[in-house]
Amino acid sequence: MLRILYPALLTASLFATSCGGETLRTGTLVFTANGEDFVRDGFVSEDGWRIDFSGVWVNVYGPTAYQVVEERSLRHGGHPHEDIPEGAAHVSLLGDFFLALKAPTFEVGREAQAPIGNYNRLAFTVRPAVPESAGLVADHLGHSIVLAGTATRAGEQDVTFRLRFDEELAYSACGPNGLAGVLAEGGQASAEMTFHFDHVFGDFDEGPADPEDPETVNHLAIGFGPFAALAAGGVLEMDQAELGEVMTGAVFLQLVEAVRTLGHSGEAHCHLD
């Protein structure tokens, strides 16, 4: 799997020299993915359903870490690196990656000759999986997000679910994720694609949704109740188009808006193009 650098720096990276004849200082930039403990360990939705995932998959295309000049007064969040140039480069992974997010934070790919600097922003696109997607699960072709698991609540029938979405989401300006992207010569830094699935179902521990505060976790969450109401014989298996046909219009639109907020870098939000 080939990684690509910003064209203006590609030749310098490959030959380890800059246009001025100086040796290009490089390190290793590692792209990672994280579904958080909500995916790995399960959680209770805002409306009291215990959700345990058997699998969560997201297809991403072209993750790109890049450098944005911050105010000097910030001094990299209090950790100065005067010897590291800012605003210098971006580094990408080519192609599509079908990410199985039940695993602990894991490596998606790396660039071992990344120019040093502060990779304080991340961009990536969530899009329907293609046959070439690395790690593709065959029956999930054509879907961008797949959620599978069980949901239980006292006094209710348990629900086994598989939900498939086909949203295409172009995230950019994700970050900064603390000091994770600060790459020194010979060192290693990371660019993390993080997915916050509590935004869809809500987090019981956060209390009722606050419709006046869009920054709260449960602002757009719909809980699991609207899904449970669609189950037949304790089973729910639907794609996005089917959900749109059977959910009430307002609930479905809220669901789609919640799905669109999944992408982050650590706890840092992304811009959605």
pLDDT-above-70 percentage for the chain: 83
Considering only CA atoms, which of 91, 120, 96 is closest in space to residue 108? Answer: 96
Residues 138-196 pLDDT 10s: 899 999 999 999 999 999 999 999 999 999 999 999 999 999 999 999 999 999 999 99
Per DSSP, what are the bridge partners of residue 20?
A: none
Average pLDDT for 73-95: 57
- 159's enclosing H/E stretch is strand 159-165
Whether the per-residue pLDDT at 68 is higher than 90: the answer is no
pLDDT of residue 212: 72
Sequence-distant (6+) residues with CB within 8 A of 64 are 90, 91, 92, 93, 122, 123, 124
| Amino acid code (one letter) for 161 | F
* Residue 230: C-alpha distances to residues 203, 249, 254 (Å): 21, 14, 17
Residues 18-66 pLDDT 10s: 445 567 899 999 999 999 999 999 999 999 999 999 999 999 999 999 9
pLDDT of residue 105: 97
SS3 at position 21: coil
**CA 106 remoteness from chain centre:** 12
Cis peptide before 115 (omega within 30 of 0): no
Tell me if 237 sits within 8 A of 227, measured CB to CB: no
Tell me if 114 sits within 8 A of 90, measured CB to CB: no
Whether the per-residue pLDDT at 88 is higher than 60: the answer is no
- Please provide residue 253's backbone torsions phi and psi, each rounded to the nearest 5 degrees: -65, -40
Quickly list DSSP for 80-102: --TTS-SS--EEEE-SEEEEETT
Q: How many residues does the chain have?
A: 273
Give one word for 97, left, alpha or beta, with left for phi > 0 and alpha for psi -120 to 50.
beta
pLDDT of residue 22: 64
Tell me if 46 sits within 8 A of 223, measured CB to CB: yes
Residues 96-120 pLDDT 10s: 999 999 999 999 999 999 999 999 9
pLDDT-above-90 percentage for the chain: 75
Mean pLDDT of the chain: 86
pLDDT of residue 4: 39
CA angle 228, 230, 233 (to 5 degrees): 80
CA angle 10, 15, 18 (to 5 degrees): 70
What count of other Cβ atoms lies within 10 Å of the Cβ of residue 36?
Answer: 18
